[in-house]
């Protein structure tokens, strides 16, 4: 039947901070599955982690480069953008997912420098990434869009969290940073829309990540990925969420939100939590 859509959903170039492992790498894989011509993984991980993440992307036939960069250092994120453009010529989709969980301790017991680090990585790092991604995107032509749709020079997706909407005891730094991500997404979106760039954020629910497990171990002495105390705590979260979530479910949402098909979605916080934030009681 004529008029049916065909071809890759996301054929452009993707730039992903925190892309070497975890949710960030799942996003990269989702872009690869949907036909992205090139993907840049930006992270601070070691060579072995980078290679594992790169291989997971390349098996779908996508060219993938790795860039070691600390998102809290403006010169490094600026360099990462420049290196990506040097290789691929442009950046069509950016996903800012470099982050840490930070200390899971009460305000009165939290080390100030540890709290500041969460703000630097999860808030300032996202802002710096968005700043330099946007500077590149507004200089380039639009990616190909369907007839009748507005141009899209780029899309930026920031990583917020259900903690951008609510909070929990012992998460003051993380919650503050994620509320800030939602705020800067809205402000940035209003600035960028006239330049044919869309900025949105997503709020994943509860996924068992290595970073979260490390902080849970520090706070309780038990592994969230295998210890009995961690399992009990996690079961409470997943009961309210409805089921266990997978990284690729977040990856696919980010890809869909990045495409020009979402042309009127601007400054939105897409919650990916199975109903966690609307559920008063575990069910």
Q: Which residue has the tokens 């480069």?
A: 65
Q: Does any domain span residue 224?
A: no
Q: Does any domain span residue 135?
A: yes
pLDDT in the model for residue 37: 98
pLDDT per residue over 257-283, tens digit each?
A: 999 999 999 999 999 987 777 787 765
pLDDT in the model for residue 246: 82
Q: What is the DSSP letter of 168?
A: -
- Per the structure block, which two tokens stand in for 22? 């975890």
End-to-end distance of the chain based on CA atoms, in angstroms? 44
Q: How confident is the model at residue 102 (pLDDT cuts 50, 70, 90)?
A: confident
- Per the structure block, which two tokens stand in for 203? 């709020």
Q: Does any domain span residue 3?
A: no
Q: Does any domain span residue 108?
A: yes
Q: Does any domain span residue 223?
A: no
Q: Global pTM?
A: 0.91
Question: How much of the chain exceeds pLDDT 70, in percent?
Answer: 87
b/e string for 155-169 if b means 16 or more Cβ within 10 A?
Answer: bbbbbbbbbbbeeee
- Per the structure block, which two tokens stand in for 280? 């008063």
Task: Out of 127, 174, 216, 234, pick the active-site residue.
Answer: 174
Reply yes or no on whether the pLDDT at 193 is more than 60.
yes
Boundaries of domain holding 123:
13-205+245-271
Q: Does any domain span residue 259?
A: yes
Q: Does any domain span residue 213?
A: no
The CATH number of residue 72's host domain is: 3.40.50.720
Paired sense of beta strands 13-17 and 38-43, if any: parallel
Domain count, the chain: 1
Sign of the alpha-carbon torsion through 156, 159, 161, 164: negative
Q: Does any domain span residue 212?
A: no
How many CB atoms neighbour CB 208 within 10 A?
A: 18
Return the half-sphere exposure (C-beta side, CA atoms, 13 A cut-off) of residue 101. Answer: 19
Task: Please say if 93 is a catalytic residue.
Answer: no
- Per the structure block, which two tokens stand in for 93? 């989709």
Which has more confidence, 169 or 114? 114
The partner residues of 42 in beta bridges, in order of sequence, read 17, 67
Which of 139, 137, 133, 152 minimizes the C-alpha distance to 261? 152
């Amino acid at each position: 039947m004529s008029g049916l859509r065909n071809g890759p959903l996301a054929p452009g170039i993707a730039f992903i901070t925190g892309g070497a492992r975890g949710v960030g790498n799942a996003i990269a894989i989702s872009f690869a599955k949907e036909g992205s011509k090139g993907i840049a993984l930006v992270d601070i991980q070691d060579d072995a982690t980078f290679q594992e993440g790169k291989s997971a992307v390349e098996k779908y036939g996508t060219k993938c480069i790795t860039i070691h960069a600390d998102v809290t250092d403006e010169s490094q994120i600026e360099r990462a953008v420049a290196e990506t453009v040097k290789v691929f010529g442009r950046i069509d989709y950016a996903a800012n997912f470099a982050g840490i969980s930070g200390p899971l301790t009460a305000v009165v017991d939290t080390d100030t420098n540890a709290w500041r680090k969460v703000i630097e990585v999860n808030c300032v790092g996202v802002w710096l990434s968005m700043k330099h991604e946007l500077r590149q995107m507004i200089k380039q032509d639009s990616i190909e869009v369907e007839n009748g749709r507005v141009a899209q020079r780029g899309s930026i997706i920031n990583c917020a969290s259900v903690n951008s909407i609510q909070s929990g005891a012992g998460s003051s730094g993380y919650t503050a940073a994620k509320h800030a991500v939602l705020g800067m997404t809205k402000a940035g979106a209003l600035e960028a829309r006239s330049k044919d760039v869309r900025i949105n954020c997503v709020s994943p629910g509860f996924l068992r990540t290595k970073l979260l497990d490390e902080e849970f171990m520090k706070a309780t002495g038990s592994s969230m990925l295998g210890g009995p105390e961690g399992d009990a705590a996690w079961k409470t979260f997943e009961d309210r969420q409805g089921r266990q979530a997978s990284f690729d479910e977040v990856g696919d949402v980010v890809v869909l939100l990045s495409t020009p098909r979402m042309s009127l979605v601007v400054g939105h916080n897409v919650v990916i939590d199975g109903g966690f934030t609307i559920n008063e009681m575990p069910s």
